[in-house]
Amino acid sequence: MQVNRRIIQALTGITNRFYHSDKPKKVSLYSKISPLGNPSCSVTNELDEWVCKGNKIRFAEIQRIILDLRKRKRFGQALEASEWLKISGIFTFSSTEHAVQLDLIGRVHGFPDAESYFNNLSKEDKNDKTYGALLHCYVRQCQMEKALTHLRKMEEEGVSLSSVAFNDIMSLYTRTGEYERIPEMLHHMKEIGVQPNNLSYRICINSYGARSDIEGMERVLNEMENQSFIVMDWNTYAAVANTYVKEGLNDKANSFLKKAEEKIDNKEGIGYNYLISVHSKLGNKDEVIRLWFLEKSALKRCINRDYINMLEALVRLDSLEEAEQLLKEWETSGNCYDIRVPYIVIIGYMDKQLYEKAETMLEDISTKGKILTPNIWGRLAAGYLDKDKFERAVKCMKVALSLKKDRKGWKPDPKVIMRILSLFAENGNVNDAESFFHSLRPIVAVNREMYHALLKSYIAGGKEVESLLNNMRDDNIDENEETKVILGINQ
């Protein structure tokens, strides 16, 4: 009760814009629970503690925290902050705040809880904002029937409709592959007087492209270009160009890429990146280079996303030397280190079977103290095996296994593991085989095939097998006919 009284005082008695406390150097609430703070902390506890210590809070600041947490996908904490604000009872939520909370409930707990929250709202709060938030919950969780039923209810209840609701449904059709239903939805929204926007038309254009219906795509594009309320954007022309690339209509693709370029905002890196990517698919290296210099000139500073896109384009064009030069430029760009950037070039070398170059780059990165992932070394090991470079393959796989100790998710390719164990057996490298086998145990479940390969190594190396057979039984793997055949070789 004491906490609630202080909450009320905090929310009603403050006129300052920023958080403050009685102690001038005290850490701000925003810094403790904002995206820069601890992602695992309890927002409710932090808010209660903040108020209990006599600090004051503005409603606008809580809204700011909720907004920032949502942007950083920390939905659980954003929901905590929203619920804390609602439970305090000092501020009556408008439909906007209800819509935000409904969306967060859907993201954290799923659409049934969001549905329940919506049903308990007053009639006044059930408007386009809250109806739209629930519709988005259904769409996000691919609840097609519920989404369509909800949209019909919105129409029947006379809820103010915009293109947003229909775009949601058309996006869901795209996700479920029901492309033929998208033009019907576009026609329906126009029929009931809802004006399509650029996204509405673009989703429809893409639906025709997905079905390779060039005539249908061009018909919708022509309609869009002739609408007085539509200002054509680069996204649409680029989407059309991409469809032409897919269909092998390169001349048309180049023509629409020029149209898209004319519509790009000079400060919009995403637009340049998209055009660079499509031009690289067409093999237009000169255009890729030209657009890259345009992008660098327009943006003043390129971020990691831009370098990743350009490196992917150069690798796609087999321009690995230029890619390596660009990688050196990135290293001096001042951007934060992102392992995905050099990986593009490394994987490019692997795809060209230039495994030594890939390994040299990986070792150079490791020497600089950067953290590598086990999967990249595992892939390199597989490549070396394909080139019959057994010792290098083993070395790379050992590095991968050593990195795996601190990581989750990655598992070595079973085929690569068996090939390595089998080659140990063929070469009679019993000690190396045994060491490799034991390095696998903490990472993968040992099986009969692995034991049989190790057993062959023992036999080839003249080592006594009884202890190995006992280990095999301890792992609940009994001897079968194949085991007896292998042991028969020894006899």
Q: pLDDT digits over 414-425, tens only?
A: 999 999 999 988
Residue at 118: amino acid letter: F
Cβ neighbors of 68 (< 8 A, separation 6 or more) are 34, 35
In 3-state terms, what secondary structure has residue 20? strand
Which pLDDT tens digit goes with each residue over 360-394? 999 999 999 898 999 999 999 999 999 999 999 99
Alpha-carbon span 96 to 94, nearest angstrom: 5
Q: Residue 474 phi/psi, 5° resolution?
A: -60, -30
Is the pTM higher than 0.85? The answer reads: no
Cβ neighbors of 4 (< 8 A, separation 6 or more) are 88, 89
Supply the pLDDT for residue 9.
44
Supply the pLDDT for residue 136.
97
Residue at 254: amino acid letter: N
Supply the pLDDT for residue 36.
63
Alpha-carbon span 86 to 454, nearest angstrom: 64
Residues of the chain with pLDDT below 50 are 1-25, 491
Cβ neighbors of 101 (< 8 A, separation 6 or more) are 79, 82, 83, 86, 93, 117
Supply the pLDDT for residue 188.
97
Alpha-carbon span 185 to 152, nearest angstrom: 12
What is the gyration radius of the CA atoms in the chain, in angstroms? 30
Supply the pLDDT for residue 13.
40
Alpha-carbon span 57 to 47, nearest angstrom: 9
In 3-state terms, what secondary structure has residue 285? helix
Supply the pLDDT for residue 405.
64
Token pair listed for 280: 């690289």
Residue-wise DSSP of 49-88: HHHHTT-B--HHHHHHHHHHHHHTT-HHHHHHHHHHHHHT
Supply the pLDDT for residue 41.
76
Cβ neighbors of 319 (< 8 A, separation 6 or more) are 285
Which of 397, 307, 299 has its CA nearest to residue 344?
Answer: 307
**Torsion sign (Cα): 452, 453, 454, 456:** positive
Other beta carbons within 10 angstroms of residue 241's beta carbon come to 28
Alpha-carbon span 169 to 142, nearest angstrom: 10
Alpha-carbon span 276 to 318, nearest angstrom: 15
Other beta carbons within 10 angstroms of residue 141's beta carbon come to 16
| Angle at alpha carbon of residue 159, lines to 157 and 163, rounded to 5° | 130
Supply the pLDDT for residue 478.
87
Alpha-carbon span 413 to 415, nearest angstrom: 5
Supply the pLDDT for residue 343.
96
Alpha-carbon span 335 to 385, nearest angstrom: 36
Q: Residue 456 phi/psi, 5° resolution?
A: -65, -35
Alpha-carbon span 413 to 443, nearest angstrom: 12
Residue 427: Cβ-neighbour burial (10 angstroms; 0-12, 13-18, 19+): middle
Q: Where are the alpha helices (DSSP H) in 88-229?
A: 95-109, 111-119, 128-140, 144-156, 163-176, 182-191, 198-210, 214-225
Are the beta carbons of 429 and 417 closer than 8 angstroms? no
Supply the pLDDT for residue 266.
72
Alpha-carbon span 462 to 301, nearest angstrom: 64
In 3-state terms, what secondary structure has residue 445? coil
Supply the pLDDT for residue 407.
57
List the chain domain ranges. 232-299, 301-353
Token pair listed for 491: 């006899």
Residue 464: Cβ-neighbour burial (10 angstroms; 0-12, 13-18, 19+): exposed
